[in-house]
Amino acid sequence: MGSIKQIPVVEAKRTNPLARVFDDLVRFCRSRSLFILHYCTGCGAIELPPAMTSRFDMERLGIQPMVSPRQADILLITGYVSIKTLKRVILTYEQMGSPKYVIGICSCTVNGGMYWQSYATAKKLDEYMPVDLYIAGCMPRPEAVIAGLQQLMDKIHSGEASSWEDYYRNYDYYLGNQQKLFGEDWQTPTDVISEAKHYDLLSEGTLGDHTRLLEQHQKPLEALEMRLGHEQEEPAK
């Protein structure tokens, strides 16, 4: 059960003062330029237009909407997540570029809210992906949303908002929950384990029974590297 508290925040192990300044600058820029991908499930989405447009104007905080997960920093889940939806949410989350942040809006993302009895709804979002911030309420008003975003900005600036690393560190746990929900043969196109290696975030929690289960049926999805071989089995007819 990985909640944000238990994760030690890794400090950049640098001694060069210039590097510190640079890291600080980078964190500052990250906090002041946030591209949102709002995954508009449920009713919370209705609160975002006022938050973006002339009334509250997110852009003055450097926050602007984006359309594709590759471009986005924040994944905004604005309401209840049915199981079908959750698959897409996870796919989208894994396609986003880290550092990435997840914000759950409305009580449905916290505990299922009014869908508590529903057989088809994922109750707790943070069982399936690390969530940086919940904005509770049904639905929270734009002020609340803005306030939440500002809180996130502060966390980013101070460098605590690193829960995305948790997804790699405890991937086995999250995968386990996902498999419980979607079945044994669950697989996303993104090869999280190799990414964990790529960011050297591989830790004891990354691999486990569930990842082993995954590797049994996982179709190979390693990238198509350029090849310069001149020998082909036999040219096409």
Partner 1 sequence: MSATELLIELILMPLVAFVVGMMMVLMMRRIAAKLQRRIGPPFFQPLYDIVKLHSKKTQVSHGLIHDIGIVMAMGGYIAAETLLPVPGMNGIAEKGGIITLLYLMMIPSLGLALGVGQCANPNGSIGIARALTAMLAYDIPLVIVVFGVAYAAGTTNLIDIIAVQQAGGFETWGATQMPLLAIAGLIAMHASLGKQPFEIYIAPAEIATGPMVEMGGKYLGGLFVMQCFQLYTTSVLYVCLFLGGGTNWFDFLLKSFLVLAIPMSIAYLFPRYRTEDLLRLMWKWPVMLGLIGVAFVFV
Partner 2 sequence: MMLTLLDELLLFSGATLLVALFIGRGLAAGWMVTILYGGQLLALLKMAVLGYEGGTIASSLTLEVMGQALSWRFDALSWFFALITIGSALLSSWFSCGAWERSYIRQGGNIWLFHTAMALNVFTMLILLASGDLLSLFIGWELVSWAGFLLMALAGGVAARAAMRYITYAMAGGMAIFGGLALIYTASGSLQLEAVTTAVEQMSGAKLWLLVILFGGGFGVKMGLMPFHLWQAPAYAETPGPGSAFLGAISSRMGLFAILLVLVKLFGIVKIESLKVPFTLIDARDLLAWIAVFTIILPTFTAMKQNDARHLLAWHGIGQGGYMLLGVVVADAMGGAGGLLHVFNHATYQAALFMAVTAVIYRTGTSDLNKLGGLVVRMPLSFVVLLIGIIGLAGLPPMNGFVSKWLVYRSLLNQGMPLLFLAAVIGTLGTILSVYKLIHNIFLGQLRVEHEHVSEAPWSMMIPMLILSAIIFITGLMPGIPLEWIASVLQTVGLPVPDYTLGGVESSSGSLDMIWVIGVLFAGFGVGALVFYSAGRSKRVHQLDNYAGGHFLSADVRYQYSDNFYAGLMHLIGGWYRGSFLWLERGITSLVEFLSLGMQGLYRRANAEFYLLTTALFVIAWVVI
Q: Does 70 bind partner 1 (CB under 8 A)?
A: yes
Minimum CB distance to partner 1, residue 159 (Å): 13
| Contact residue for partner 2 among 2, 50, 65, 69 (CB under 8 A) | 69
Q: Does 95 bind partner 2 (CB under 8 A)?
A: yes
109 versus 206: smaller Cβ distance to partner 1: 206
Task: Give yes or no for a contact between 128 and 178, defined as CB atoms under 8 angstroms apart.
Answer: yes
> Residue 210: which of 236, 229, 191, 186 has the closest Cα?
186
Binding window for partner 2 (CB under 8 A); candidates: 64-72, 106-114, 136-144, 171-179: 64-72
Q: Does 99 bind partner 1 (CB under 8 A)?
A: yes
Q: Tokens in use for 177?
A: 């929950």
Per-residue binder mask for partner 1 (CB under 8 A), 188-217, x = binder: -------x---x------------------
Q: Does 155 bind partner 2 (CB under 8 A)?
A: no
61 versus 195: smaller Cβ distance to partner 2: 195
| Site residues (vs partner 2, CB under 8 A) | 68-70, 87-89, 91-92, 95, 188-191, 195, 198, 221-233, 235-237
Can you give the binding site for partner 1, defined by CB under 8 A?
Answer: 25-26, 28-30, 32-33, 53-54, 57, 59-60, 62, 66-71, 73, 95-100, 195, 199, 223-224, 226
